[in-house]
Structures are given as structure tokens and as C-alpha cells.
Chain A
């Protein structure tokens, strides 16, 4: 996995996101469509796609896509 692959999959996964708009530096909490429901979508996505279990506490510490990528790599 590389970060670009993660970004492409996330753009597919989250219906509010337009293709090619996410960057490693994108702060997920500052995006206007972000809601608590998306946190659940991301937990499920990471679990199913990468077999990595992210807890609610882990996710609360994540700000950017890069942070999410680093967490998946750390926990893989």
C-alpha cells in the first residue's frame, strides 16, 4: 500500500468526496462535509480493506490523511 492508493480508495468510499480532491495534508476535520458518521465509515473501511482495527480513541487523534496512513502502517 502507498498513500496514493489509500487516497484513491477513500475517494471511492466516501460519497461526498470528488475524485482527486484529497491530499496527504488534507485535514479531515476541516472538510465541510465531515461528520461523526464519516469517522465510522473510515473505521469500517480500514478494518475491511486493510484488516487493521482502529479504535475510536485512535481516530480522535488523527487530523490528516497522512496521519491515517501512518496509523495503518504502524498497526499492520
Chain B
């Protein structure tokens, strides 16, 4: 027995931010400079009252509308985000109710970011293949925009807020390969949301300090781009080789490499280091930016639409980033 990805939907946040919009705010860059720097034409942000679980909810509704899959047949949901509704209870409980799913299902949160899709897919595979349920609806929703300082060019030009819903189902043949996981918590300080939870809560001083940015009451994402970059180009090629080894495959066996869409320069550097031909690389960054845990399902959906994934293809997927956390596997279509 195995399992497979049955269907993917994703939903970008409603507010489109063009390079012209950014150039109006960051006066030292022109729209053209911004495109040259980040390779992104537009990104999407939510309004203050729309958070990760709302985007996941929208993506789930799209999923049920598109597929007509009966809601009462969903047996498990996993909600993956780095922006939960509350410290408690689990947001997955709230989503069960909002989506009007059965009460006799499993529902868990899985807080994870850039490696969120591959981490969650690994858990879904384990749940289905161990016979605990015959399907898992993976839900994703992240709003980095809500914790980015308005004057932080790197974050504002790179990230998008988005949600996704992905159904994993039991199948006679296995379509999801063996997983590789990795973590290095010493890198946490290089990409984190400061003043965001129990360890380091916001205080009056923080709100005053950030008065011109609305107080940043949900905390502030801080990224050391150089360290994230050097981590990525060091660790991802190792991850790719480990995934190949664990699935007894060679580079040439892979038809498409789908990496988390961290940034154009990170992807280009990984491509060059691994000597991957351009036609085997997924670049879906230009029209939506870095959508955190939604990036890999977004790539898979778009690549399928474009006919880049055919029956019999092997697609290597690899998520990496905040944590630092990384994981990946091979999908057999």
C-alpha cells in the first residue's frame, strides 16, 4: 500500500503589490531595479484581518468546489503554518468546525515554514501508510506580510501571503518516495519572528518603538539574508544527494526539480552547484514571490498546468529554510 497527492489548490492573498508600488515606497530603487534584484514582478499581501488559517480556509473551499470531494470522507487534517490563530487551542480544531468536517477525524497543527510542505507531506504519508486513516487533507496558510516591517525591503519584496489545500490519499501503488529530514536549530536566530510568543512577548516599549509601523503587535520577522543564503547553498545540494540515495535514483533519473522558491539567486546558485539543466528546474517565483509553505504545491500545480509533469515522471521536491529545517522526497507520477 502507498499514497499519492490527489489534488492541489492554492490561494494567493488579495492585495497585489507590484514593483511600481514598492518603488513608490522605497525611493532609492526603481521598479526595474527591484525586478533585477529579486526576479519578482508581483507579490500578494493580506489585509490585517486575514490570517493564515483564513487563507487555508479559502484554499480548502476551492478544493471542495473544484473536486466535489465529499467533506464527510475527510479523515484527517493537518494545518501547517508559522502563524497560528492562538497559542491554544490548535487552529486545526477551528478549521474542522469552519469547514464543517466530521467530528471523528484527526486534526493537528504542524508549525513549520519554508520546509512546511515537505515536512507535512512526510507526516501525511506516515499517517496513511500506517493505516491510521485513508486520507489526509493538508492545509497551509502563512502571512509573512503581517510580521514584516513596512520598511524592510528584503522581506517586503520577496514574500507573499498564501494558502493551499492538498489531498493525500491511500493508493495501491506508492507515489511518494522515502523522505530525508534535517534540522539545525543554531540557525534559528538568522530567520525568526521577534516579539511573537511566550519567550519574548511584546511590551509597551516595543509598541512605542514601532509606533510608525502600527506597533508591530504580532511581532517582527527578522532575516539575516547572508546566513540564510549560505545555509541554503551548503545544505540543499547535500539534501538532494541524500534524497537520491534514499530512493536509489541518480540525478539523471529526475524529470523535474521542485525546490522551495526561496529566492531567485538561491535557486540559481543551487541549480549551478548541482548542474541541473534549466528545463528540469521549477522557477515559479516571478508572478507570486516566495509563498513559504505554499511554494512547492504552487509549483507542482503550475508545472502540471503547463504539461511539464507527465505520467511516469519522477519529481524531486525539497523544502528548506526557517528553523533551519529541511526535508524532501521524490514524487512518482
User: Given A43-B229, A44-B272, A56-B229, A37 and B234 touching (CB < 8 A)?
Assistant: no
Name A48's contact: one of B190, B225, B273 (CB within 8 Å): B273
Number of interface residues of B (CB under 8 A): 15
For residue A41, CB closer than 8 A to chain B, the reply is yes
For residue A36, CB closer than 8 A to chain B, the reply is yes
User: Would you give the 0/1 interface string for A47-58, flagging 1 where the beta carbon is closer than 8 Å to chain B?
Assistant: 110000111110
Residues of B within 8 A of A47 (CB): 230, 233-234, 269, 273
Chain A nearest CB from B182 CB (Å) reads 16
Q: Is A54 a contact partner of B230 (Cβ separation < 8 A)?
A: yes
Give the complex CA separation of A43 and B226 in angstroms.
9
Give the complex CA separation of A35 and B33 in angstroms.
12
Q: Is B224 a contact partner of A56 (Cβ separation < 8 A)?
A: yes
Q: Is A40 a contact partner of B37 (Cβ separation < 8 A)?
A: no
User: Given A43-B233, A47-B233, A47-B234, A55 and B227 touching (CB < 8 A)?
Assistant: yes
Q: Is B265 a contact partner of A40 (Cβ separation < 8 A)?
A: yes
**Taking each of A40, A53, A56, which has the highest tally of chain B beta carbons within 10 Å of its own beta carbon?**
A40
Chain B nearest CB from A56 CB (Å) reads 3
Which residue of chain B lies nearest to A43 when distances are taken between CB atoms in the complex? B230
Q: Is A56 a contact partner of B272 (Cβ separation < 8 A)?
A: no
Which residue of chain A lies nearest to B234 when distances are taken between CB atoms in the complex? A53
Within 8 A of A (CB), among B34-91: 37
Which residue of chain A lies nearest to B225 when distances are taken between CB atoms in the complex? A36
Which residue of chain B lies nearest to A59 when distances are taken between CB atoms in the complex? B226
Q: Is B229 a contact partner of A40 (Cβ separation < 8 A)?
A: yes
Name A44's contact: one of B37, B224, B227, B233 (CB within 8 Å): B233
Interface range for A: 10 to 19
Which residue of chain A lies nearest to B37 when distances are taken between CB atoms in the complex? A37
Which residue of chain A lies nearest to B266 when distances are taken between CB atoms in the complex? A40
Residues of B within 8 A of A54 (CB): 230
Within 8 A of B (CB), among A8-63: 35-37, 39-41, 43-44, 47-48, 53-57, 59-60
Give the complex CA separation of A55 and B227 in angstroms.
6
Give the complex CA separation of A57 and B229 in angstroms.
12
**Taking each of B190, B229, B230, B265, which has the highest tally of chain A beta carbons within 10 Å of its own beta carbon?**
B230
Residues of B within 8 A of A59 (CB): 226
Within 8 A of A (CB), among B174-220: 190
Chain A nearest CB from B194 CB (Å) reads 18
User: Given A47-B233, A48-B272, A39 and B226 touching (CB < 8 A)?
Assistant: yes
Give the complex CA separation of A54 and B227 in angstroms.
10
Residues of A within 8 A of B226 (CB): 36, 39-40, 43, 55-56, 59-60
Measuring CB to CB, which residues of chain A are less than 8 angstroms from any residue of chain B? Answer: 35-37, 39-41, 43-44, 47-48, 53-57, 59-60
3 closest Cβ contacts across the A-B interface?
A56-B226, A44-B269, A56-B227
